[in-house]
Structure 1
Amino acid sequence: MELSLAHPALKAFMCGSLSGTCSTLLFQPLDLVKTRLQTLHSNMQPGSARVGMVTVFLSVVRTEKLIGLWKGVSPSFVRTIPGVGIYFSTYYSLKQHYFLEQGPGAMESVLLGAGARTVAGVCMLPVTVIKTRFESGRYNYVSVAGALRSVCQIEGPRALFSGLTATLLRDAPFSGLYVMFYSQGKNTLPQEISTSPYAPLANFSCGILAGVLASLVTQPADVVKTHVQVSPHLYKRTADAVRYIYNEHGFPGFFRGGVPRSLRRTMIAAMAWTVYEQMMARMGLKS
């Protein structure tokens, strides 16, 4: 009996990992540009979000070549392949356990998404810290394993969990809001579209809208998380980073890097959910 319950969860893990891998490879440059924008020094004002994004993009290509846009893709893979798998398998298990007969409502969707993201976020936080540092361009790490060893030896294992509060404040609400907007959007689709060959495209469109709304709400937490993980020696508490960002950049500073992050998170989430649901359907499982 235990094996039969675990088997669908394992399938959900595999589907989630594959969907996350494809989307991470495609959109890693947007994540790198977002991180660089958020960690600009106070005397390097990028102007508007759009000009700042283009400026940073061209600067990376000019100084680090085109391949530089994929800096940090190794830790992204190390984080995404198991991380997205953990997220979807947890989400699937919770949904099957609590909402097997009746689908979740709006608030239940928020709790499902937030709960699954919290589990995945805590499990993968050490790799998230390394990934953020890779992308910042301030550390000369050669490999993920070498970076993990370096942090443990120089800063102590605790540094691998820096920004935990900000990460959960960003990821749990994002995922909860995303699942709510996405599921509610799908429920409003006419039955003839949901059962037509265009269903994946319609689902992807719902994912785009859900991603934009969830990204805007959680952008300030993402900026704080980046600062804490890149410079943990400067911020003893999350509140210290919040105070610094506000004093140096004002309220708009909490939305720095919002354009590339919204693009990346929206496209990744929409693609991941579309691929996940299609693969689960092919396996005969209800996602």
Structure 2
Amino acid sequence: MSETARPRTAPAWKTLGVGGAAGLTSCVLLQPMDLLKTRMQQERLPTASHVTATQRLVRAFQSVVHDSGYRGLWRGTVPTIARNVPGVAAYFYTLNEVRWLVAKWQVPGLSTLDTSTRTQRSSTLARLSSTGNIVTGALARVTIGLILNPISIVKARYESSHYSKDAYPTLWASLRSLYRDGGVRGFFRGFSATALRDAPYAGLYLAFYEQHKHSLGYWARGESGAWWVVSASSLGAGILATVFTHPFDILKTRMQTTPQALLRDASTSYRPSVIATARRIFQTDGARAFADGLGLRCARKAASSMIGWSIFEVGQRWVS
């Protein structure tokens, strides 16, 4: 039977369960890296304009530990779990369903007619063309990102030093605060930058991931679904996709975490659009600011991709 015609074997609750487990594991283990990345990407204070990236990272780490102890590195874990566990589960489920539909319907340009035996064991996902990988990955990621954007804003502000612990005491109080400050539109602040980041990231990630598995499969005697192939492929794909999309992560963080008091001067009123934010970063911090936190984000995304996709691929086979 060809890969495109293969019936789905795992019911929805198993796909969601495995995806949720992947999201929970990665967000709890890697939250300190997310917090430090946000601290490096947030609006810089005047005293930090000439500090190197390494010095800023060390200072951010020392500041968190000094103020809250090592437990402070996990500040923001609650909204991270609230976003990532259902978000990753929904992403994997949506991605799985969309890919099987595209493969079943043989959509021109997106599906593939590859029926070789080796590809039948390469993935728990339906096999698509490179364009199909990019389109389905982007569609699933942006859709889930839109739904969970309010929690993403709360998460970023929990992690930012511009907001005190008392500013967002609970997740529910945080969401009410967003609505009070900006109405319904306030829930989607920064989504344009998020979409510009997530669409190419998810698409490129899947394209790189499937290609790496296809290539590394030769070293695994044609079994591209071997655990080390999945781990290595997700690690490499996470790094490459992160490098290409990092500037938009900077824009998203600035748009979601910078207080209005820091965005106004005597003569102008700042509106948090992508273009306005990019212009402000160029004017105040220079082009180098678009690389803030790149190393941390590469490490974080590579690790989370390896953890998440390994759990998902292996888990899908185990529960099927």
> Same fold per TM (> 0.5)?
yes
SS at match of 1:161: coil
Question: Letter of the aligned partner of 1:95 in structure 2?
Answer: R
Distance 1:188 1:179 in 2: 14
Tell me if structure 1 keeps the 8 A contact 2:40–2:292. Answer: yes
Question: Letter of the aligned partner of 2:11 in structure 1?
Answer: P
Residue of structure 2 equivalent to 1:134: 158
1:78-157, aligned counterparts within 5 Å?
78-100=82-104, 102=112, 103-139=127-163, 140-157=167-184
SS at match of 1:99: helix
* Structure 2 segments unaligned to the other structure (5+ residues): 1-6, 107-111, 113-126, 264-269
| 1:195 Cα deviation after fit | 6.5
Tell me if structure 1 keeps the 8 A contact 2:79–2:151. Answer: yes
Alignment pair present for 1:244 and 2:280 = yes
Alignment pair present for 1:37 and 2:64 = no
Alignment pair present for 1:229 and 2:256 = yes
1:165-244, aligned counterparts within 5 Å?
165-191=192-218, 193=220, 199-231=226-258, 233=260, 234=263, 235-236=270-271, 237-244=273-280
Alpha carbon RMSD of aligned pairs, Å? Answer: 2.2
Q: Judging changes above 3 Å, is the alpha-carbon distance between structure 1 residues 19 and 167 closer, same or farther for their aligned structure 2 residues?
A: same
| 1:47 Cα deviation after fit | 3.7
Tell me if structure 2 keeps the 8 A contact 1:46–1:52. Answer: no
Distance 2:53 2:65 in 1: 18
Tell me if structure 1 keeps the 8 A contact 2:35–2:75. Answer: yes
Q: Judging changes above 3 Å, is the alpha-carbon distance between structure 1 residues 247 and 166 closer, same or farther for their aligned structure 2 residues?
A: same
Distance 1:232 1:87 in 2: 30
SS at match of 1:188: helix
* Structure 1 segments unaligned to the other structure (5+ residues): none
Q: Cα deviations across residues 131-177 of structure 1 (Å, max 9, x unaligned)?
A: 00110022221111111112212332321110010000111111111
| 1:54 Cα deviation after fit | 2.7
Tell me if structure 1 keeps the 8 A contact 2:154–2:175. Answer: yes
Q: Cα deviations across residues 213-244 of structure 1 (Å, max 9, x unaligned)?
A: 11111111001111111137444222111101
TM-score (norm 1): 0.91
Distance 1:197 1:110 in 2: 20
Residue of structure 2 equivalent to 1:67: 71
Q: Judging changes above 3 Å, is the alpha-carbon distance between structure 1 residues 268 and 43 closer, same or farther for their aligned structure 2 residues?
A: same
Q: Cα deviations across residues 67-121 of structure 1 (Å, max 9, x unaligned)?
A: 1101111000000111111111110001110124842121211111111101110
Matched positions, count: 281
| 1:209 Cα deviation after fit | 0.9
Question: Letter of the aligned partner of 2:145 in structure 1?
Answer: G
Structure 1 or 2: larger helix share?
1
SS at match of 1:142: coil
Match of 1:272 among 308, 315, 318: 308
Residue of structure 2 equivalent to 1:15: 18
